[in-house]
Structure 1
């Protein structure tokens, strides 16, 4: 029988694998800001109900002023800024381009650790960065025979949002709270920012219910449930590498949904670009694992 932590890890992979397709389908019925607003509302409800069932909801109201300010800052980074850029990238580009690029955040994290955490950049990390971003270049290349339109502002957003995500995780290390409480607060405190943006640049009025269904799906299976299953899986193992490595199945499973549900024709560049990105990530992970082993 499959162990609990692996079952939860694989369930998380399945949830996140649907995200690229869900973003593209939902954007057919609502704009970027509306999608972000309603999906965040759904996520807050899911996470809030989970904390209520766990008997932890009262801890949300017992933080210091400094802690609340800290989570407001994190909420601006993620989900507000990060997902605003991600969803806009999906709005401008085919899903098969944005989804693999999104995984370069692992390498981006090591790059940002140099100026922010004063960590040196090793030769292996430089190699990983070079290989990873070579994959981005391959994904970004489209000639007249491919039939896919490229928007380079979309490429910029897909790459730039990985820096926001990496920055979020660097600051998130300082959090001493239960991870689910921290994520709940991030989403809760992002609502005024997303709501204000929606009020100024969009509207809360929906043309049909299909968009709301899609936003609820994203709120549940990109934001809400995956964080619960992922964090629970990580808490269930001594060596988290055994579970975290499962996450690299996501791009491949995501391509299956992109092809079968969304109907995008997968191009050779997509496979080659993804292979380069994952090769860079594996080199990066090998470097981190080697450093961990030498320290322990």
Structure 2
């Protein structure tokens, strides 16, 4: 029982981290270009993840073996997807959309996993799974049109496409990650090291100035530590410590609604009814999918 209580605490801590990051994205983007934010956040996250791996090793144990060439190739591919491509698209979506819209649209990734599992894992989509997909994407329409569902006038079409596209990238990364048998923390650390390298190369190719304001640096530090690093480690710990993954996985549903609270009172956005209703419909679809 004490072990399960610890699992709940780790899961709630991860959920709290994820609940604040939409606000952190939006606040940091006020002073920092998306590409610059990605560069610094990736560097901070990679340093944090390797620092944790070094700090938690057993006394007298080596600092850690180097990955094999095959493992490095897997990490290079994973790092391209996440953090590089995923956050490049996601940060641009947040740059174009209010946080209250970008966050629910990005939250559709569990439904995209259902769609991608058929071609990538050979899994058959059950009828209830198709219902879940339709329900969640109805929520996407509500959020994207700000409630003007019949008129189908999208408030910001490119931003909505980027936000939903980021969920597809994350879903693809998530499925590929299942096929890598390595320890989750190890995969994350090496993937983010490669991702930081891609972000630096991309920054140089764009000819951007890597200098950043103090506000942007603090925001990137927060994102790198809490969104890209600590939250994932906490969630991995919760899953490994829990009696079953189902006992903690439902806590994730708290995150998008808590996020709206922070968006309202930290970012200052007036929350539209369409954002709340659309998010509720998206989450309903995800819940149906879990029952499929």
| TM-score, L = length of structure 1 | 0.91
Q: Structure 1 residues 60, 83: closer, same or farther in 2, change over 3 A?
A: farther
Distance (whole Å) between structure 1 residues aligned to residue 146 and residue 181 of structure 2 = 45
Partners in 1 of 2:104 and 2:273 — Cα distance? 13
- In 2, the alpha carbon distance for the partners of 1:60 and 1:121 equals 41
Question: C-alpha displacement at 1:159, in angstroms?
Answer: 0.7
Please give the residue correspondences for 1:230-269 in structure 2 after superposition, counting only pairs within 5 Å.
Answer: 230-269=235-274
Alignment of 1:215-226 (within 5 A): 215-226=220-231
- Listed one character per residue, the Cα deviations across residues 220-250 of structure 1 (whole Å, up to 9, x for unaligned) are 1101111111111111012111111111100
2:151 matched residue in structure 1:
none
For 2:179, the equivalent position in structure 1 comes to 174
Q: CA deviation at 1:150?
A: 2.8
| Alpha-carbon separation, structure 1, partners of 2:24 and 2:212 | 18
- 1:284 and 1:67 mapped to 2: Cα distance? 32
Partner of 1:46: 48
2:126 counterpart residue number: 122
5+ residue gaps in structure 2?
A: 149-153
TM-fit CA distance, 1:60 = 5.2
Contact 2:102 2:163 in 1 (8 A): yes
Is the 2:79–2:190 contact (alpha carbons within 8 Å) kept by the matching residues of 1? yes
- Once residues 219 and 22 of structure 1 are traced to their aligned partners in structure 2, the CA distance between those partners, rounded to angstroms, is 11
Kept after mapping to 1: 8 A contact 2:41/2:220: yes
Tell me the residue number matched to 1:36: 38
Q: What's the CA shift string for 1:121-147, capped at 9, x where partnerless?
A: 111011000000000000011389xxx
State which of 164, 167, 182 in structure 2 corresponds to 1:162.
167
Number of equivalent positions: 283
For residue 203 of structure 1, report the CA deviation from its aligned partner: 2.3
* Partner of residue 27 from structure 1, selected from 29, 32, 55: 29
Query: Could you give the per-residue CA deviations for residues 119-178 of structure 1, whole angstroms, max 9, x where no partner exists?
Result: 11111011000000000000011389xxxx932111001111111111111111121211
Q: Is 1:79 matched with 2:83?
A: yes
1:56-78 per-residue CA deviation (whole Å, 9 max, x = no partner) reads 89575432101110110011011
- The separation in 2 between residues aligned to 1:202 and 1:137, in whole angstroms, is 37
Query: Residues 109 and 167 of structure 1 are in contact (CA less than 8 Å); yes or no, is this contact kept in structure 2?
Result: yes
* TM-score using structure 2 length: 0.93
What RMSD in Å do the two structures reach over aligned CA positions?
1.8
SS at match of 1:18: helix
Q: Distance in 1 between matches of 2:187 and 2:238?
A: 17
Kept in 1, the 8 Å contact 2:203–2:210? The answer is: no
Corresponding position: 1:283 with 2:291: no
The Cα offsets for residues 46-98 of structure 1, whole Å up to 9 and x where unpaired, read as 11111011128957543210111011001101111111111110000000001
Partner of 1:290: none
